[in-house]
Structure 1
């Protein structure tokens, strides 16, 4: 008997032995499961595997960063504007990654005067390597964006991107350092080594350089930020539930709008500033809310008003805007504008009538007079921007700062433009004027009938005239720049009827006439002394009347079209004096708390300048003292014993000037080739050479001092710190974290 073959296979629909057919369905299910397992163990196609491994947040960030880097290749990275007297509109140079554009040739011509090497693009290896390096970096960024990287490699990528803008700043500063420290010792103007700033202002004599980082640099910074922070931000956004994303966006918009409305409501100013002043106790400090106060303000009690640079006082075009009648008033951080313009009333933005006021850090604009000080004194007017009126002709403007019948004031570090006179001082004594910038006005400093005043480290440029000192006594001029004065006046420094003036270390350059003097000194026994000043690139270096009897020693007269010009009969005898001894002021230093940037306190005034003394002036001007004369760039003598003093006297003469004295109509040909031809004939044919105007018995072979410059490596340190901080933030976000990660079970084949 054969074994039982078992039950027959079930039939569809449960036929046969009457079963329901569940065994058939189980077998079908098992076959399906087996087939799925076989499919999962089979290798995936390559593209599908790659898509599963891509980190999409990093791919998006890498794509955006690559686009920013590509744009940076085509945008300027750094710009420079050089302001020079010969070019009132400025010279511009733009640095791209692979080239320099702009007024490179003209800048090289100006650099020649101070001995700086010319800018040669072929010498800059970085310009040739920039494009290939950027293309390689873009490729690397895109490749790394599609590859799953370990954490340390992500950090390395972020560092690489952040090093690019940092290296750019360091490289620029290094090149600027090289240019400023490879000066030609044989240049017409000798300067000490200096470092132009890669960002900010550098000033060399009367040349001003403004440099800043441009769009391309900030695109590089943006690319680094996207690589470092972009993936984290994208993941944070993606992890929000889908229904919360529009809700979160709407909430952010509403919060921004509501916050702005609340801020505007909270900062809405009261109806009148006068109400705040009336409600304040004497001596109180009042913080004025932001807003525009359309009123004229009178302060009649000691107060301190803080505007926070967001409060505006608008006078509405009527009279004075702010009148200070009380003592001990301080006004800081306001915009003061729209005074009246009636000339007979002389309205002002701020009128000071009391004592011991502080007017600091304000902007005063669209006014007739900027600041008017009448009577009283011992005020501090500092760190203000004053723009009386650029829309009217200069003769219809008022002065930016006017002092009348006052004393003991400190006026320092104000920025003045578009005035009649920048600083006008009349019948006012014992004032200290330091570190102000005055340009695009009629006269920079206008000084009359005053005594015992100091003017130090002021920059007066691009005016019709620089400084006028008239009918005054005991004046100190030290460290000022008086440059680029043109027009009908065109005088850098004018002295008329002046006694006991000491001028030291001033830079008087690029004017029609550098120094013009008449009746200086005006009284017997008084002295006028010029020591270690630079007089350069002027039409006329010195224009002297026969009534002058000043002392000049250790000054530098460089490349003036006419070194010395004179007016009046018997000029040669009056101008050609010899040396003696000079006693400088015992306290000529201008270092005070105010000059150094400190606060001297109300009423603290630097000591009056002491009276300079000089030998008797019966013989006229003296061109040397203590055996030392002046440096003259056209001196053709020699120094056989090497003591730094020429062995032959320097004599200034001009055939053209001699003819012009006899025929004044020839003045029409000044500064033309006709003048140069006549003077050249005088040099070639000594028989027609006129008598010398001056004789310096001890001319110096080299300039006695190098003019001070500004600009150093501090900007490099600041830029490096900023970029390192920016790079440190992403690195902190990318630091390794200890995370508990669930591990997938690994299937072990049986």
Structure 2
């Protein structure tokens, strides 16, 4: 009996001990999980807050190089500092708002990846929103942001060597713009690479320089509205719906740009609408639906648009005039292997414009004195090619024996009086004779801008010129970094 009682007590004790042990182990595990979660949350929150705290703690004019890692945006910058991510820092906005809001002058942001903005067009959710002057944004990767870099009422900023793309999950028309200038002046946009963003827009923004950028897979590679006196130089735009389009934007200079494969029903290399005093110099416009499109341009009285030294080749239409307009000067251009060299919508020609010393690959005249200039004028008439221009569905037959036969018969025995589109009195037979003095054109533009600056600034022009010299030095240093 005593033995039985002893065994029963030991069994009960073991059962209670095991039950207590299980409870203790369960409580311990739960405590550890709670502590680990709290620690993890604390680390993440502190890491998130630390970037803004580091920015706030950085003195005016100081440089901040955050520890490598991923930080959560959005970030506010309201003083002149330099933030250098060294290629090891990512700022993720978590799908809300813009990644960085910059409300200061004299800030430098470089070598950082900015990603995952919100998707609000009303709020212009961006990689960086810039509302300040004299800032430098360079060598950053900006991806999965609705807009790339937004400059709103911002002056004298440099945007350089950034790689920008939009939200790939959104249809092209609903994406934001790679770089957006709104009431922003005297900025330099240079050496940026843009892939898959909707447009780059320059609206109500004058005297900006946009140079040596690359853009592909977008809608408008570069779109101006009500923006005067901008310089567009050395850019490469490939496989966009439109290369460069100028709307109500006088005084633009387009030099040494290469625009290729702007296709689709409205595809064009360069377009102008009611735009005056434009210089289109030494550009290559290749494999586009339309090379150059002109609609009521030039618009202002006593102004001209100059198209000089351009290679316009392998396009559906070389130059398309929306109306029989006047005031354009086309000289020293190469027109090669375009299905139609020049076209005018509606009835009428382009004879009110100046055509001189262009090279036309379909010229059928002679050069008896071997001076490289045709002995007879180059004359272009509208024949059977009007069929597919007036009836777009007839484009299916371009290059077929049927349309070629119709064109031959029209030339042999016209059914009606053909329309003279243009006459070039001295067509070139060799591109070696093409001599475009770009420096003179640029000097004329700079002289005009300097005169305007003196008038606009009066006594305050000296500090403006002083900062202009420092800006030029900074631009040169950026160019050197790019070459290296």
Give TM-score, length-normalised by structure 1. 0.50
- C-alpha change, 1:686 and 1:487, in structure 2 (3 Å) is closer
Work out whether 1:646 is the aligned partner of 2:374: yes
- Summarize the Cα distance change of 1:439–1:705 in structure 2 as closer, same or farther, 3 Å threshold: farther
Q: Distance in 1 between matches of 2:271 and 2:228?
A: 17
Alignment-derived partner of residue 225 in structure 2: 448
Q: Give how far 1:482 is off.
A: 1.1
How many Å separate the matches in 2 of 1:473 and 1:660?
33
Any residues of structure 2 matched to 1:567-716 within 5 Å, and which?
567-569=345-347, 571-572=348-349, 575-576=350-351, 620-624=352-356, 629-659=357-387, 664=391, 667=394, 669=396, 671-673=398-400, 674-685=402-413, 690-703=418-431, 704-705=433-434
Deviation string 1:468-497 (CA, Å, 9 cap, x unpaired) is 011011110000011101123211111111
Match of 2:96 among 311, 318, 321: 318
Change (3 A) 1:500 1:665: closer
1:560 corresponds to: 338
Higher-strand-fraction structure: 2
- Measured after TM superposition, the shift of residue 702 of structure 1 is 1.3
Contact 1:517 1:548 in 2 (8 A): no
What CA distance in whole angstroms lies between the structure 1 residues aligned with 2:49 and 2:405?
72
* 1:344 Cα deviation from its structure 2 partner: 2.4
Higher relative CO (Cα under 8 Å, sequence separation at least 6) belongs to 1
Structure 1 portions without partners, runs of 5+:
1-264, 577-619, 708-750
- Measured after TM superposition, the shift of residue 289 of structure 1 is 1.5
Match of 2:285 among 500, 508, 518: 508
Match of 1:465 in 2: 242
Separation (CA, whole Å) in 2 of partners of 1:669 and 1:654? 19
Please say if residues 269 and 291 of structure 1, whose CA atoms lie closer than 8 Å, have aligned partners that are also in contact.
no
Match of 1:413 among 167, 181, 191: 191
C-alpha spacing 1:362/1:706, structure 2 compared with 1 (3 Å): farther
Indicate whether 1:386 and 2:164 are aligned.
yes
In structure 1, C-alpha distance between the alignment counterparts of 2:425 and 2:270, rounded to whole Å = 25
Q: Deviations over 1:429-466 (max 9, x none)?
A: 11000100011000111011011110000001100111
Matched residues in 1 for 2:426 and 2:143: separation?
51
1:521-561, Cα deviation, whole Å (9 max, x unpaired): 00111110011000000011111121343000000000001
Correspondence for 1:425 among 181, 192, 202:
202
Number of the residue aligned with 1:367 = 145
Q: Distance in 1 between matches of 2:80 and 2:397?
A: 58
Whole-Å separation in 1 of the counterparts to 2:406 and 2:234:
39
Could you say what secondary structure the match of 1:444 adopts?
Answer: strand
Partners of 1:398 and 1:419 lie apart in 2 by 7
Q: Secondary structure at the match of 1:336?
A: strand
- The one of 42, 54, 57 aligned to 1:276: 54
Distance 1:677 1:316 in 2: 63
Q: CA deviation at 1:349?
A: 0.8
SS of equivalent to 2:122: helix
- Cα 1:355–1:555 change in 2 (3 A) is same
Q: Hey, what's the Cα distance between the residues in 2 that align with 1:562 and 1:354?
A: 48
What does residue 116 of structure 2 align with?
A: 338
What is the rounded CA distance, in whole Å, between the counterparts of 2:197 and 2:393 in structure 1? 35
What's the offset of the Cα at 1:269?
Answer: 6.1
Is the CA contact (8 Å cut-off) linking 1:483 and 1:511 kept in structure 2?
A: yes
What's 2:311 paired with? 534
Offset from partner CA, 1:384-415 (integer Å, 9 cap, x none) = 00011222211110000000001010000000
CA distance in structure 1 between the aligned counterparts of 2:429 and 2:395, rounded to whole angstroms: 34
Structure 2 counterparts to residues 200-279 of structure 1, below 5 A: 271-279=49-57
Give me the whole-angstrom Cα distance separating, in 1, the residues matched to 2:397 and 2:424. Answer: 25
The question of 1:497 aligning with 2:274 is answered yes
Q: Please report the RMSD computed on the Cα atoms of aligned residues, expressed in angstroms.
A: 2.1
CA distance in 2, matches of 1:435, 1:448: 21
| Higher Rg | 1
Confirm or deny that 1:287 pairs with 2:65: yes
Equivalent residue, structure 1, for 2:297: 520
* SS state at 2:104 partner: coil
Q: How far off is 1:692 after superposition? A: 2.4
Per the alignment, residue 484 of structure 1 pairs with: 261
CA distance in 1 between partners of 2:127 and 2:392 (Å): 46
Instruction: Name the CA distance, whole Å, in 2 between partners of 1:437 and 1:332.
Output: 19
Helix, strand or coil for the counterpart of 1:272?
helix
Q: Hey, what does 1:241 align to over in structure 2?
A: none
> What does 1:149-188 align with in structure 2 at a 5 Å threshold?
none
The 8 Å contact of residues 48 and 72 in structure 2, kept in 1 or not, is answered as no
TM-superposed deviation, 1:346: 1.8
Note if contact 2:310-2:334 (Cα within 8 Å) is conserved in structure 1: yes
